Amino acid sequence: MAAQTRALVAARWLADAVKSNRVGPNLRILDASWYLPKLKRNPRAEFEKTHIPGASFFDIDECCDKNSKFDHMLPTKGEFADYVGNLGIGNNTHVVVYDASDFGSFAAPRVWWMFRVFGHNSVSVLDGGFKNWLKEGHAVTEQYSKPERAEFKASFDKSWVKIYEDVLNNIKTNAFQVVDARANGRFRGVEPEPRENIEPGHIPGSINMPFPSFLDSTSGLERPVEELKKLFQQAGVDMQKPFWVTCGSGVTACHIALAAHLCGHPGVCLYDGAWAEWFIKAAPEHVISEGKGKQP
């Protein structure tokens, strides 16, 4: 399999590419770090201090639908094309995405998924992220030179994106499995949501697979495919049947999509509004919780 079609690339491979000056119009590196506000981390400021040589910063709160009241909803294909074109990415560019999360990756799979939904398959997540990059002792820099703008033409696979009404209808039909990447306490309704005025709980019939379970807790590396398959099996997800993914705001859900892709199931659909939208719009009986749930 050609390097540019792999969903994951190793730090050593990327370090060799950096050393041999392959970063340019054919290979772009993106730091897609993003954190929940409670962590009080400023990803752009961290990027300016230290990043992988040749990387540019991808801001999911900038490359989004600015008219939506929900966080970082998908932009239009034109907005996406303009944003990534400004980062020097064309249709023939291999894009490698990472973030600096303590987990190994947090937001990078979201950007990987965004490229794919906008028709660009030549995109990879850096396995283990910046955490593993540092652990392996690869070069970092504070220097940044803005890439020359490139022309990017985007398409949009609408079938990959689910809206509130799709998920509501699925409660009646049970045509699709819905898998939620949030922490188990939030899913069950016993630990708080990070967003104000949103109570924890889950969509009726959904399955919980907290995103850190896909990663090795020490290295941050993705677990081997056989382990990933076992995780899906243990959670009760039938990988022969289609499923949709969700989380708090559409970011960590993409870890499930990436894991499924690695297991040979590409094209997993995302409920982009996720729990933040569901809690606001859903009837109280559609908020399943061991806590206080949603009051009528």
C-alpha distance from residue 127 to each of 28, 96, 106, 120, 265 (Å): 16, 10, 12, 19, 19
For residue 92, list its beta bridge partners: none
Catalytic one of 63, 64, 247, 269: 247
Give CA–CA dist 173/194, Å, rounded: 31
Strand-pairing partners, residue 222, are 215
Q: Locate tokens 């705001």: which residue?
A: 249
Higher pLDDT, 190 or 266: 190
Residues 225-256: tens digit of each pLDDT:
999 999 999 999 999 999 999 999 999 999 99
What are the chain's domains? 3-156 (3.40.250.10), 159-286 (3.40.250.10)
C-alpha angle 226-229-234 in degrees, rounded to nearest 5? 125
Half-sphere exposure of 185 (CA within 13 A, CB side): 5
CA distances from residue 10 to 17, 133, 169, 171 in whole angstroms, order as listed = 11, 9, 41, 40
pLDDT tens, 30-80?
999 999 888 889 999 999 999 999 999 999 999 998 898 888 989 999 999
Q: Is 104's pLDDT higher than 80?
A: yes
pLDDT at residue 89, as a whole number: 98
Tell me if residue 269 is catalytic.
Answer: no
Note the pLDDT of residue 228. 98
* pTM for this model (two decimals): 0.96
Interatomic CA distance for residues 136 and 104, integer angstroms:
13
